[in-house]
Amino acid sequence: MRTKRVRSVAVAAVVAAGLALVVSACGGGGSSGGNTTTTSAQGKTFANLKVVWGPTDYLDPGLSYKLESWQIFQDVYLGLVDKRYGTCGVGAGCTKIIPAIAQSLPKSNSDGTDLKFTLRKGLKYSNGESVKASDFKNTIIRDFKLNSPGIGFFSNIVGIASCEANPTKCKSISGIIVNDQAGTVEIKLMKPQSDFLYILTTFFAALVPSSTPQKDTENPPPAADGPYYFSSYKPNHSWVAQRNPHWKPIPGIPNGNPDKITATLSGDQSRSAQLVQSNQVDYDENTLPADRLKQLQSKYGPQIHLWRTASTNYFFMNERTKPFNNIKARQAVNYAINRQTLVNLYGGLGTPTWNFLPPTYPQYKKLTPTPYPYNLQKAKQLVQQSGTKGMTIGVYTESDFQNRKAAGEYLQGQLNKIGWHAVMHELSSANYFVIVGNQKTKAQIGFDDWFEDYPYPTDWFTVLQYGPNIHQIHNNNNSNVDFKDTNSTINHLGTLPPGQAFSASTDNAWANLDKTLMLKYTSEAPFLNEVITSFFSTRMNPQCDIFTDLFSDAAQMCLK
């Protein structure tokens, strides 16, 4: 769920999803998982990479749930396993799971509920402490003590109940068995869980030393087991990452080209683009401002990279409130929005969509023919038929992101055109999802988006479209989607035996689920899959821009 914003979670009670290990992991063992070495090319190292970076939330992996933090964490904090450090959608891509701190993918039983890892030997953190098996267990316990937004990810581990009941007093988890002498970690799950290895790639499971204080630790951030560590962090101002002096190369994990990465934090798209234009910094992490795209593209074309993301921008429609408890009202919204116009409002940085799942997924099947072509007349008729014409509707959106603000205001205009009286609520992005995700707000309709946490459909359907995962606060299922048959399907697809989770028939079943939710129930109004930009100074070689699952990898950037 990395998004370009914070999502605190009760989330991910990814819980119920359950099941099956990633095919490549099944019965795994032995080998190093077919990883390709992505270490830096000889002679590409350089002293300092200066970047302008969007504001981070925390630089503590136990607490952070924001893309801007996770994007740099990929070079700092490693878990037992990791996702491949390659460009997504190109060649071998970025979805394959590789061993990181573990020397191989886990050995597991037939249903994938007992995973055994063995750690690589001789690894050390940036503070000189040795990496121990018990650090993994203590990291998960620390997540609970911090009341981390990621604790919902671990609710399928045996013995987790007491920690879930009282997170800050979590002391032990019986389902995680470690042996420091042998360097082994065994994780026992209550039931199969198809996406569990992907969950271990999130930074909530990235190892930090057992000596790390069990509180928000950011000055400095916790010691790192990756190729870089944070040598300084000034919230809302800057951070500096330097080479980990104790780093021992791991196949598949880039050693990194810059000796130091110096980041200036700014969310101002125009300012950050200007800093790159004037060569004051080498890389702009923020997406370029829509109104300057054309100008910048014509002048700095080769220095700009464009990337499609595994994301969907959509309008949620709260099915627990009028008028959207009526399917005709939800259909009316889908007919009333011109998706191409919304793409225009994003400066062209996106493609229209009617699916909920993004096209980057193998489980994606484009809905054809276009299910809800722009048709205001039909939308008006549906509003009339729903018996809700003239109703006042609150439209929510974020006020400080140009695209999202524009999308929300566009929606409001369209709702007024089809017979409702839409009232705008523009909220700061800092608390937008907290307010909208609180059932007491009773937000009827508004902007929503999702960027994947990991490349499996449970991240979309279990978190966002699954009835049992509706929460009173910090709710991510803002539409309160809760249909018996789709709940059952999601549960079923999450509990298939290993080996079936990635089969063609399972992929088809996920695609059908997408279709059912979007056509039979019109549970959301998806409108585009986002494209983002990387902008480099003239001294940088944009060919080294590796766009991983966590976006551009700063460690692999190189000079011309």
For residue 369, say if its preceding peptide bond is cis, omega within 30 degrees of 0.
Answer: yes
Identify the CA nearest to 188 among candidates 156, 162, 218.
156
Q: Is 295 in the site for another protein (CB under 8 A)?
A: yes
Q: Is 351 in the site for another protein (CB under 8 A)?
A: yes
Is residue 116 within the footprint of another protein (CB under 8 A)? Answer: no
Is 473 near another protein (CB under 8 A)?
no
Report in angstroms how near the CB of residue 54 gets to another protein at its nearest. 17
Q: In sequence order, what are the residues at sequence separation of 6 or more whose Cβ sits closer than 8 angstroms to the Cβ of residue 426?
A: 396, 397, 398, 399, 405, 408
292 touching another protein, by CB under 8 A:
yes
User: Which letter, b or e, does each residue of 257-284 get, where b requires 16 or more Cβ atoms within 10 Å of its Cβ?
Assistant: bbebbbbbbbbebeebbbbbbeeebbbb
Cα–Cα distance measured from residue 40 to residue 476, given in angstroms and rounded to the nearest whole number: 39
Window contacting another protein (CB under 8 A); options: 81-89, 161-169, 450-458, 509-517: 81-89
| Of the candidates 434, 469, 405, the residue with the CA atom closest to the CA atom of residue 18 | 469
Query: Per CB under 8 A, does 90 bind another protein?
Result: yes
Q: What is the β-pairing status of strands 421-427 and 392-398?
A: parallel
Query: Is 297 one of the binding residues for another protein (CB under 8 A)?
Result: yes
- HSE-up (13 A, CA, CB side) for residue 478: 25
Pick the piece of the chain touching another protein (CB under 8 A) from 27-35, 65-73, 86-94, 222-230: 86-94
**Closer to another protein by Cβ: residue 289 or 457:** 289
203: how many CB neighbours lie within 10 A of its CB?
A: 26
Q: Which residues between 8 and 47 bind another protein (CB under 8 A)?
A: none
CA angle 459, 462, 467 (to 5 degrees): 155
- Using CB under 8 A as the binding rule, whether residue 438 contacts another protein is answered as no
For residue 441, the minimal CB distance to another protein (Å) is 8
153 forms part of the interface with another protein (CB under 8 A): no
Question: Which of 75, 135, 225, 426 forms a contact with another protein (CB under 8 A)?
Answer: 426
User: What sign has the CA pseudo-torsion 11, 518, 95, 108?
Assistant: positive
Cis amide prior to 251 (ω within 30 degrees): no
Q: Which of 346, 356, 364, 420 binds another protein (CB under 8 A)?
A: 346
Residues between 522 and 551 that touch another protein (CB under 8 A): 531
Q: How far apart are CA 248 and CA 229, in angstroms?
A: 13
89 binds another protein (CB under 8 A): yes
Q: Which stretch binds another protein (CB under 8 A): 28-36, 143-151, 175-183, 425-433?
A: 425-433
Q: What length is written for the chain? A: 560
- Judged by beta carbon, residue 167 or residue 394, the one nearer another protein is 394
Asked if residue 338 binds another protein (CB under 8 A), the reply is yes
Write out the residues near another protein by the rule CB under 8 A: 87-90, 270, 289-295, 297, 306-308, 338, 340-341, 343-351, 374, 392, 394, 399-400, 402, 406, 409-410, 412-414, 416-417, 423-428, 435, 441, 531
